[in-house]
Chain A
Amino acid sequence: MTSLDTQGEPILLEMRSITKEFPGVKALSNVSLRVMAGEIHAICGENGAGKSTLMKVLSGVYPYGSYTGDIVYQAETQQFKDIRASEAAGIVIIHQELALIPELSIMENIFLGNEPTKWGVIDWAEARKRSLELLARVGLREDPDTPIKEIGVGKQQLVEIAKALNKSVKLLILDEPTAALNESDSQHLLDLILGLKGRGITSIIISHKLNEIEQIADEITIIRDGKSIETLNVKRDGVDEDRIIKGMVGRTLESRFPDHEPKIGEVFFEVKDWTVGHPQIQDRLICKGSNFFVRRGEIVGFAGLMGAGRTELARSLFGHSYGRFIKGQVYKDGKQVHLRTVKQAIDAGLGYVTEDRKSLGLNLLDDIKTTTVSAALNKISNYSVVDTRKEFSVAEEYRKSLRTKTPSVEEGVAKLSGGNQQKVVLAKWMFTDPDLLILDEPTRGIDVGAKYEIYGIIQKLANQGKGVIVISSELPELLGLSDRIYTIFEGAITGVLDKNEASQESLMKLMTSARKAA
């Protein structure tokens, strides 16, 4: 079934000079990809390089005929006309945004669209038996009747894989599988992928987390600007992160963080005994008497595992927009301030850039200029009439100073890439002129080049004398950016480290233990 390459190794998949055009845009031009049977093949590239498009071509989302080039899979040229056709051939794609139905149980999700039937009626006994086997294979110990919404993202990812295994997958495509996972869930998932490799399942993995790729991939194909640049063999070529980045951006990045000379002033923002209850569950606390402060011109990092309560802390501070407020005080410039509504928080000089850009941060129907001014409409309006002239010039100013890549500020934000969307959100909050800007995962889903720019913006804001809080799951990012780092574990602040005493190890220790704050 499989053909062999020159070294006599079996080739599972070969995509030959794939070109895919959208009206007016060449998303892929002459991309080639060769995947050996039984390997883990990583695809790297900046956002917008064409990785996902390539995978959509492969999985039949873009049907045969809508692209040019050949897909040779198991030594046969394939013409997938939809996802079902590619799945029938054993190619299963797991998208970044999981395709599970929250209200249905694990079992129902696994067999969705593929239900075992007897005389046309679903055979639940058989389904249960098979789902238990599948869950055991992916190492998920949950009752198959548990609704999906009750298990975490990490476990949901495992359910997706179980679902794929049920379709007797030969080639598993994972698009950013660990983007939303914490460290230990990620590790479990990576181990699982390695385990599947041992059972002869080939995987293609798309990821921004280069350390993970380095850890599990056999080969790496780098795509840049819709073209395949090179394929590296991890063992043979001795690939490391810098080497991958070089391929992705087409140059070596001297440093991943811009140079920054902090100008730190006095303490101006202080939170005392901040205690917040879970919005639904009565007795559960999501913030347990947190105390912290921010100095002028300081970038303060908040480190913690997924679910530790970092976002919850930030959002409850920002106008009580999450959870049940129980007690706690906020002091700004020595005076107590009350932040009961988002409006009060904004008026008090706070800004909050959410981690969930698409569902909480942006109105995707809006254009850039409307979004830019949306949190400070009063600044560009007289007697509540919006001055569209000012609106345009404000948006234009930020477009230039943040170097947002867009044909015009009248472009819809939905059409921008993640990095440029984030710049628009930053512009929106910069325009409110906050004293304290809280950035929740400011570089999630953003490519390396744009990250560098965003770091630069953050540092500039700090140099203007603003306080900046950065919440991030990426420890290297926190270490590179912050002047001081607080660690959070299960809703409580467990420690604070200065830039020079913090390391991944020391942070990780504090992030995973209930040790009392120093």
Chain B
Amino acid sequence: MNALKKLFGGNTRQFGMIFALVALIVFFQIFTDGRTLTPGNVINLFNGNSYILILAIGMVLVIIAGHIDLSVGSVAAFVGVFVALAMRDWGFPWWAGVLFGLVLGAVIGAWQGFWVAYVGIPAFIVTLAGMLLFRGFNQFVGKSNTIPVPKEFQFLGSGYLPEVGPETGFNNLTVLLGLIAVAFVVIMSLRARATSKALGADVPELWVEITKLVLICGAILYATYLFATGRPGTSFPIPGLILAVLVLIYGFIADKTVLGRHVYAVGGNRHAAELSGVQSKKVNFLVMMNMSVLAGLAGMIFVGRSTASGPFDGVGWELDAIAAVFIGGAAVTGGVGTVIGSIVGGLVMAVLNNGLQLLGVGADLTQIIKGLVLLAAVAFDVYNKSQGKRSITGLLMKNFQRNNEIKPDETTSTKEVISKEA
């Protein structure tokens, strides 16, 4: 158990969620007689959920900053219908359509950001209004009809990496991508280790690091294998590629940039952030605006995948995205959350959905199960935080707890520091 703890160090929630994800996959793999981890199914799973995961990336930033966005599904549908119209009726080429969609998302985001950041209306209200507003606009503009989009645009939502190079029995580009990912992971973690060591910070033992790397790289290579050996014509899907790029960019922004720090600061304690020179209004504005841009992108990918824009695109997406973020360890009160965590949270939901479908469980039961999983994931977290004393899970997670617990009693916590010092 100690070894496991070291291996999955970091935060409790991420450990719990990655564990849950793996357990879920194994469970379904067994009970669906191996139908879960087949190339076709994994590709499907990615295709069908990439837009939710993209929303989750934006949503986690919104939630870290202490807000919420209920309008993403409607915004996605709104952008989708306008882009479809622009291409069909106004003669936009596909690339101009994409650009137009992103700009439109930014404009909507600026609208919502204005009300949230500069007028000070709670995001819950602003985006609840937005949810009605943009759904209405979608149906008004599209006259509640479906509007088809051209072939090139469909590539965005249902395309795959093309076949290039020699015949290897694999999709070469997918394999290349997988290898690049492995190299990236190895180099980054070794560099991080070297840096920590140079600074005299604690580093995990070498075997821990290596085992961790082997596990992660193994998982990447296995996924690569699945994606590269699909039905002819399929490979790593384009939406997956977009998602991967976004995860890298946003992970970097959240973790390593001044702006990212400011988002956490505003969500953690807005007053303290302001008194440190953070322009909290600007941060809130940007976060809300960014969410709508990503919602627009998700909407376009969905339209591309379903070959047409429709009046009920994106219904309920906001709930899936929010669920993904909370399962992925974000706090309702803001200040806590990670991009990667939200992706893992989204994948947990996606695998659950997919596996239950393969098992032939109806939509009714699936919803019930998903609801319970969301509740259980957050309850687990809350329970963990409230446990000062040892319990089975508390014992298991004892050393993982950091940052996110605030003890009202400062004097007892002083003791800990003093005794550690001694």
B406 touches A53 (CB 8 A): no
B411 near A417: Cβ-Cβ < 8 Å: yes
State A175–B370 Cα separation when bound (angstroms).
46
Shortest distance in angstroms between B335's beta carbon and chain A's nearest beta carbon? 4
* Distance of A408 Cα from B201 Cα, bound (Å): 8
Q: Least Cβ distance of B164 to chain A in Å?
A: 34
Q: Which residues of B, 212-229, contact A by the 8 Å Cβ criterion?
A: none
Interface flags for A52-83 (1: CB within 8 Å of B; 0: not) read 11001000000000100000000000000000
A338 to B335 alpha-carbon distance, docked (Å): 32
A420 touches B417 (CB 8 A): yes
Interface check B390, CB cutoff 8 A: yes
Residue from B259, B336, B390, B416 with most neighbouring chain A CB atoms (10 Å): B416
Residue of B nearest to A420 (CB): B417
Residue of B with least CB distance to A26? B419
B406→A360 contact, CB < 8 A: no
CA distance A365 to B265 in the complex (A): 9
Q: How far is the CA of A467 from the CA of B415 in the complex (A)?
A: 35
Which of A318, A365, A388, A410 neighbours the largest number of chain B CB atoms within 10 Å of its CB?
A365
Contact (A366, B268) CB under 8 Å given A321-B275, A360-B275, A396-B199:
yes
Chain B residues whose C-beta falls within 8 Å of the C-beta of A420 in the assembled complex: 414, 417
A370 to B258, CA, bound (A): 11
> Is B271's CB within 8 Å of the partner chain A?
yes
CB distance from B402 to the nearest CB of A (A): 6
Cross-interface CB contact of A405 among B260, B262, B274, B421, cutoff 8 Å: B421
CB-defined contacts of A389 to chain B, threshold 8 Å = 195, 198-199
**B231: interface (CB < 8 Å):** no
| A384 to B410 alpha-carbon distance, docked (Å) | 35
Let me know if B261 and A52 touch, CB within 8 A: no
Given the complex, which residues of B lie within 8 Å of A66, measured CB to CB? 389
A385 touches B411 (CB 8 A): no
Residues of chain A from 23 to 45 with CB closer than 8 A to chain B in the complex = 23-27
Q: Determine the residue in chain A with the shortest Cβ distance to B279.
A: A343
Which of A342, A364, A370, A384 is in CB contact (< 8 Å) with B274?
Answer: A342
By the criterion CB–CB under 8 Å, are A47 and B414 in contact? yes
A513 within 8 A of B: no
Task: Give bound CA distance, A384 to B119, whole Å.
Answer: 28
Closest beta carbon of chain B to A422's beta carbon, Å: 12
A415 x B199 contact (CB < 8 A):
no
B258 touches A417 (CB 8 A): no
Closest B residue by C-beta to A52: B411
- Stretch from A289-297, A375-383, A497-505 contacting the other chain: A375-383
Most chain A C-beta atoms within 10 Å of own C-beta, residue among B258, B394, B398, B412: B412
Within 8 Å by CB of B261, from A377, A392, A410, lies A377
Report the Cα distance A53→B200, complex, angstroms: 35
Output the residue of A27, A50, A352 with the most chain B CB within 10 A: A27
A361 engages B272 (CB within 8 Å):
yes
Note all chain B residues with C-beta closer than 8 A to A445: 410
Residue B407 interfacial (CB < 8 Å): yes
Indicate if the CB atoms of A416 and B277 lie closer than 8 Å: no
B403 proximity list for chain A (CB < 8 A):
365-367, 412, 414
| Bound CA span A226–B418, Å | 11
Complex: A318 Cα to B274 Cα, angstroms:
11
> Given the complex of chains A and B, what is the CA–CA distance between A304 and B388 in angstroms?
41
**What is the total number of residues of chain B having a CB less than 8 Å from a CB of chain A?**
53
CB contact between A385 and one of B202, B257, B336 (< 8 Å): that residue: B257
**Are B388 and A22 in touch, CB under 8 angstroms?**
yes
Residues A410 and B201 in contact in the complex (CB < 8 Å), given A360-B271, A416-B417: yes
Contacts of B168 in A (CB 8 A): none
Interchain CA distance A391-B125 in the complex, whole Å: 38
Check A386–B256 contact: CB distance below 8 A: yes
Enumerate chain A residues within 8 angstroms of B258, measured Cβ to Cβ.
Answer: 377-378, 381, 384-386
Main secondary structure of the interface of B (DSSP, over half): helix
* B261 in contact with A374 (CB, 8 Å): yes
Q: A318 with B275: in contact, given A25-B416, A50-B415, A392-B201 (CB under 8 Å)?
A: yes
Please measure, in the bound complex, the distance between the C-alpha atom of A35 and the C-alpha atom of B352, giving whole angstroms. 61
Our pick among B202, B335, B417, B419 for the contact of A415 (Cβ within 8 Å) is B417
Residues on the A chain within 8 Å of B275, using CB: 318, 321, 342, 352, 354, 360-361
Q: Interface extent on A, as a size class?
A: 35 or more
A199-243 interface code vs B (CB 8 A; 1 in, 0 out): 000000000000000000000000001100000000000000000
Q: Provided the pairs A56-B409, A352-B275, A389-B199 are in contact, do residues A23 and B389 lie with their beta carbons within 8 angstroms?
A: yes
Complex CA gap A86/B348 in Å reads 46
Residue of B nearest to A416 (CB): B417
Instruction: Name the one of B272, B388, B417 contacting A406, with C-beta atoms under 8 angstroms.
Output: B417
Interface residues of B in 221-275 (CB under 8 A from A): 256-262, 264-265, 268-269, 271-275
Contact with A along B371-413 (1 / 0, CB 8 A): 0000000000000000011100010001000111111111111
Residue of A nearest to B420 (CB): A407
Chain A 91-128 interface mask (CB, 8 Å, partner B; 1/0)? 00000010000000000000000000000000000000
Cα of A361 to Cα of B273 in the assembled complex, Å: 8
Instruction: Across the interface, name the chain B residue whose C-beta is closest to A342.
Output: B277
Nearest to B260 among chain A residues (CB) is A386
Tell me, yes or no, whether A362 is within 8 Å of chain B by CB: yes
Best-buried of B199, B257, B413, B419 by chain A (most CB within 10 Å): B413
Are the CB atoms of B272 and A360 closer together than 8 Å? yes
Chain A residues lying within 8 Å of B394, measured Cβ to Cβ, are: 23
In the complex, the answer to whether A341 meets B199 with C-beta atoms within 8 Å is no
Contacts of A360 in B (CB 8 A): 269, 271-272, 275
Judged by a CB distance under 8 angstroms, whether B276 is at the interface is yes
Residues of B within 8 A of A226 (CB): 415
Q: Is there an interface contact between B272 and A415, defined as CB atoms closer than 8 Å?
A: no
Q: Are B202 and A408 in contact (CB under 8 A)?
A: yes
The smallest beta-carbon distance between B287 and chain A, in angstroms, is 16
Report the minimal beta-carbon distance from A409 to chain B, rounded to whole angstroms.
8
Q: Are A22 and B261 in contact (CB under 8 A)?
A: no
Interface pair B279/A418, CB less than 8 Å apart: no
Chain B nearest CB: distance from A40 CB in Å? 21
The smallest beta-carbon distance between B32 and chain A, in angstroms, is: 40
Residues of B within 8 A of A386 (CB): 256-258, 260-261
Docked-complex contact B411 and A49, CB < 8 angstroms: yes
A146 within 8 A of B: no
Do B412 and A414 have beta carbons less than 8 Å apart?
no
Point out the residue from B195, B277, B418 that lies within 8 Å of A48, measured CB to CB: B418
Q: Which residues of B contact A345 (CB under 8 A)?
A: 277
**A50 CA / B411 CA spacing, docked (Å):** 7
Given A389-B195, A393-B199, answer yes or no on A362-B272 (Cβ-Cβ < 8 Å). yes
Q: Which residues of the partner chain A approach B269 to less than 8 Å between Cβ atoms? A: 359-360, 362-365
Distance (Å) between the CB of A425 and the closest chain B CB?
Answer: 9
Contacts A354-B275, A412-B402, A412-B403 hold; do A417 and B261 have CB atoms under 8 A apart? no
Report the 4 A-B pairs with minimum CB-CB distance, sorted nearest first. Answer: A48-B414, A417-B414, A363-B268, A375-B276
Q: A375-B276, A389-B198, A412-B405 are in contact. List 12 more A-B contacts (CB 8 A).
A: A22-B389, A23-B390, A47-B410, A47-B411, A52-B412, A342-B275, A363-B272, A363-B335, A366-B403, A374-B276, A386-B257, A418-B414
Residues of A that sit less than 8 Å from B by CB: 22-27, 47-53, 56, 66, 97, 225-226, 318-319, 321, 341-343, 345-346, 352, 354, 359-367, 370, 374-375, 377-378, 381, 384-386, 388-389, 392-393, 396, 405-408, 410-412, 414-418, 420, 428, 445
B residues engaging A (CB < 8 A)? 195, 198-202, 256-262, 264-265, 268-269, 271-279, 335-336, 388-390, 394, 398, 402-421
